[in-house]
Amino acid sequence: MKLSYIQRIAGAVLGYCSLLLLMAAFSGTSYAVSTADHTRFKELQQDFKSGPEVTRACIKCHTEAAKQIHKTNHWTWEFLNPDNKQRLGKRNILNNFCITPQSNFAYCTACHIGYGWKDETFDFTSEESVDCLVCHDSTGTYSKPPGKAGHPKDTVDLKHVAQQVDKTSRDTCGACHFFGGGGNGVKHGDMDDSLAVPERELDVHMDAVGEDFTCATCHRHVEHDVAGSRYTPEAAHSEDYHIHRKQFEEENNAHCRACHGNKPHKKVDKSRLNNHAKKIACQTCHIPRIARGGVATRVTWDWSTAGKLDESGNPLQQRVDGNLVYHGKRGTFTYAANVEPEYIWFNGEVRYLLLNEKAVVNEDGYVPINDFGGSPDDGKSRIWPVKVFRGVQPYDPVMGTLVVPHTTGLNEDAYWKNFDWEKAITAGMLSAGQPFSGKVDFIKTQMSWPINHMVAPAEDAVGCDECHSKNGRLKDIEGIYIPSRDASVRLDTAGWFITLLTLVGVLMHGFGRIVSNLWSKR
């Protein structure tokens, strides 16, 4: 069959277009590295109108994924501490950052791995409400703004994101965890977006051109349940190497010894350093400072100063060195970069101050929102680095409890709308089902965060003299004798006495040798 000239041109054009499309499909826009090319799945070749539509397509093949997610803390935001039976999790506890998601769900669930959690009516059994993309996006274009109850931005190209899904990455985990507390590096101090592309000096494991660990390298998951909970952290790990061993599949591998074992120091003065590991957490020496990646971490937050407006009637905002130091909706903040952590004895037991419990001020004048257990004598504690975050937040002086303010949203009860604490707290406590006297005062609180990330290379670890000195890092740690820091009159006297005896012995021996030598010559 002979083709006309036009047909030949059309054929050539069609072929060229096909070639371009293939280039775009298979090499051009691909971010994912996977054994499955999701662009070729018919289920994903549609213009999705919403997140749940994407999930419906995902679970046609990944039939168990949503059911697995339903069992995880990432989904329930609830955790029952098996030791002290406290009902914890993001939906139950308070903090001294944004205080609590309660009565503010539509705003805070921007960081929930689901769609639609705006109030108590949210259906936790709905499979299509699971957000697959927030953890599996590889394009970096997927985002969930506050106020949409976990739904993505309207501008997100859901088809493109769904076709480019991949394993989780530092970017996907970091989209929430780097920004905990409402901004970059605000909450943790050892996690901010500098860890997306870290240098070796910032994190020796995550080094983007070195080991290139993702979060999931340590925080391994079993059926979507990710290891490493801060509600029941493990302060001391007695077991030896076990990562990648099948029999330990369901154990927490998110700790140093899972890879480094119980005798981690192999080179210099190994026995002395390995002995240190019996009383000191690895993190104490190997994370010398936090907020080292160029992002300052917030260290204080004073809600009592909130409410100032500018000339236009909008919440006043002030920045210093790029950091937000005042916001009319939230109050006053201070920051620090390259921060030396504080140190405590920690045995892994954490007790939280819950909404229905009295707020008790400690000897430093703060209400501890979480209390870390530990002592030098219990045999299971290590000296740990922590970031201690101090704040001033609203409380009920009559009931003696911390309170839930309804801050977010545009309704008349919301603090960010009316700047009236009594109205906001009345609405918040009603939503939380807790009593409120109607009186509002402010109280100083503190909260501790164990430090685990930003592990420095060995050569940058804390030096001996930084602890073995009078005013060193561990100056406030009690119950352990640290040479050069501590002095005991009896021990020092005994030591000097032995030294003196040794000196006398050496001198006498030397004198005897000289005398006997002279004697023999005579």
Partner 1 sequence: MKRHKSVFAVLVVILLAVSPVVEAAKGNWKKGRIYYRMVCTDCHVNQAGGKISPAEKTKAEWAEYFEKNIHGPQDAPAKYAASYFVSKEYRESIKDTNRAAAKMLKIPDEQLLEDVKAFLNHTAKDSDQPSRCE
Residue 54, judged by CB atoms within 10 A of its CB (0-12, 13-18, 19+), counts as buried
Does residue 5 interact with partner 1 by CB under 8 A? yes
Does residue 24 interact with partner 1 by CB under 8 A? yes
Does residue 197 interact with partner 1 by CB under 8 A? yes
Nearest approach, Cβ of 179 to partner 1 (angstroms)? Answer: 6
Nearest approach, Cβ of 208 to partner 1 (angstroms)? Answer: 5
Does residue 27 interact with partner 1 by CB under 8 A? yes
Nearest approach, Cβ of 369 to partner 1 (angstroms)? Answer: 19
CB 453 within 8 A of CB 287: yes
CB 190 within 8 A of CB 284: no
CB 226 within 8 A of CB 72: yes
Does residue 315 interact with partner 1 by CB under 8 A? no
Does residue 475 interact with partner 1 by CB under 8 A? no
Among 59, 113, 173, 175, binds partner 1 (CB under 8 A): 175
Does residue 184 interact with partner 1 by CB under 8 A? yes
Does residue 28 interact with partner 1 by CB under 8 A? yes
Q: How far is CA 256 from CA 164, 181, 277, 290, 452, in A?
A: 33, 26, 11, 18, 9
When the beta carbons of 323 and 426 are compared against partner 1, the nearer one is 323
Among 141, 214, 300, 334, binds partner 1 (CB under 8 A): 141
Phi and psi angles of residue 142, each rounded to the nearest 5 degrees, phi first: -85, 130
Tokens of 297: 């971490």
Does residue 196 interact with partner 1 by CB under 8 A? yes
CB 305 within 8 A of CB 326: yes
Among 3, 18, 23, 463, binds partner 1 (CB under 8 A): 23
For residue 343, give the 3-state DSSP assignment. Answer: strand
Q: Distance between CA 263 and CA 102 in Å, rounded?
A: 45
Residue of 66, 162, 63 whose CA lies nearest to 115: 66
Nearest approach, Cβ of 140 to partner 1 (angstroms)? Answer: 6
Q: Which stretch binds partner 1 (CB under 8 A): 15-23, 335-343, 419-427, 505-513?
A: 15-23
Site for partner 1 in 432-451 (CB under 8 A): none
Tokens of 396: 């009920």
Q: Which stretch binds partner 1 (CB under 8 A): 85-93, 177-185, 307-315, 488-496?
A: 177-185
Among 145, 365, 495, 505, binds partner 1 (CB under 8 A): 145
* 28 DSSP assignment: I
Does residue 13 interact with partner 1 by CB under 8 A? yes
Does residue 16 interact with partner 1 by CB under 8 A? yes
Does residue 318 interact with partner 1 by CB under 8 A? no
Q: Distance between CA 327 and CA 298 in Å, rounded?
A: 14
**Strand 382-396 relative to strand 297-302, pairing:** parallel
Instruction: Kindly report the number of other CB atoms within 10 A of residue 356's CB atom.
Output: 11
Does residue 15 interact with partner 1 by CB under 8 A? no
- H and E: helices and strands count for the chain: 15, 15
Q: Which stretch binds partner 1 (CB under 8 A): 143-151, 228-236, 460-468, 507-515?
A: 143-151
When the beta carbons of 27 and 471 are compared against partner 1, the nearer one is 27
CB 293 within 8 A of CB 192: yes
Contacts of 407 (CB under 8 A, 6+ apart): 98, 99, 104, 329, 414, 415, 416, 424, 428
When the beta carbons of 324 and 480 are compared against partner 1, the nearer one is 324
Q: Distance between CA 218 and CA 253 in Å, rounded?
A: 6
Site for partner 1 in 276-305 (CB under 8 A): none
Nearest approach, Cβ of 294 to partner 1 (angstroms)? Answer: 9
Does residue 319 interact with partner 1 by CB under 8 A? no
Residue type, 445: T
Does residue 14 interact with partner 1 by CB under 8 A? no
Residue type, 19: L
Q: How far is CA 405 from CA 10, 308, 396, 414, 431, in A?
A: 67, 18, 11, 8, 10
When the beta carbons of 2 and 522 are compared against partner 1, the nearer one is 2
Among 51, 101, 116, 183, binds partner 1 (CB under 8 A): 183
Among 105, 107, 345, 416, binds partner 1 (CB under 8 A): 107
Does residue 140 interact with partner 1 by CB under 8 A? yes
Residue of 156, 404, 453 whose CA lies nearest to 303: 404
Site for partner 1 in 37-66 (CB under 8 A): none
Dihedral (CA of 123, 127, 133, 134) sign = positive
Q: Which stretch binds partner 1 (CB under 8 A): 39-47, 149-157, 234-242, 346-354?
A: 149-157
Nearest approach, Cβ of 174 to partner 1 (angstroms)? Answer: 10
Among 121, 125, 155, 517, binds partner 1 (CB under 8 A): 155
Tokens of 38: 């999701």
Q: Distance between CA 90 and CA 74 in Å, rounded?
A: 9
Please give the residue ranges that form the binding site for partner 1 (CB under 8 A): 5-6, 9, 13, 16-17, 20, 23-24, 27-29, 31, 98, 107, 110, 140-146, 153, 155-156, 171, 175, 179, 182-184, 196-197, 199-200, 208-210, 324
